[in-house]
Amino acid sequence: MTRYELGFLLLLIAGTVGTGIGIVYTKYLSRVEFVELQALRAERQKLEVRWGELRLEEAALTTQSRIETKARKLLGMYLPRNQDMRVIGGDNDR
């Protein structure tokens, strides 16, 4: 075997080993990214569940009867009586 053929053979072996190492490293990075993706998906799922819970809570807290009850108890508000109302700038022809 000539020196040229030996050099070419060593170059092919080095290329093959380098490619193998590159494939293994790329596969490793792919797995690391996949694990991170799965973690992010799980976190997104938890956030979606929490968002749904918050929307339900908001709906429960903003019902008309609850707001009216809080206004009466905490703020002392009430529906005005007829004698408490005044019409300003009303059309007398109606």
pLDDT recorded at residue 83 = 87
pLDDT recorded at residue 22 = 97
| Cα 42 off chain centre by | 10
pLDDT recorded at residue 35 = 98
Dihedral sign, CA of 80, 85, 89, 91?
A: positive
Give me the residue spans of the domains in the chain: 3-76
Higher pLDDT, 62 or 37: 37
- Rounded to whole angstroms, how far apart are CA atoms 26 and 41? 22
Average pLDDT, the chain: 92
Residue 93 has pLDDT above 80, yes or no: no
Model confidence, pTM: 0.58
pLDDT recorded at residue 80 = 87
Evaluate whether 84 touches 90 at the Cβ level (below 8 Å). Answer: no
- pLDDT tens digits along 18-52: 999 999 999 999 999 999 999 999 999 999 999 99
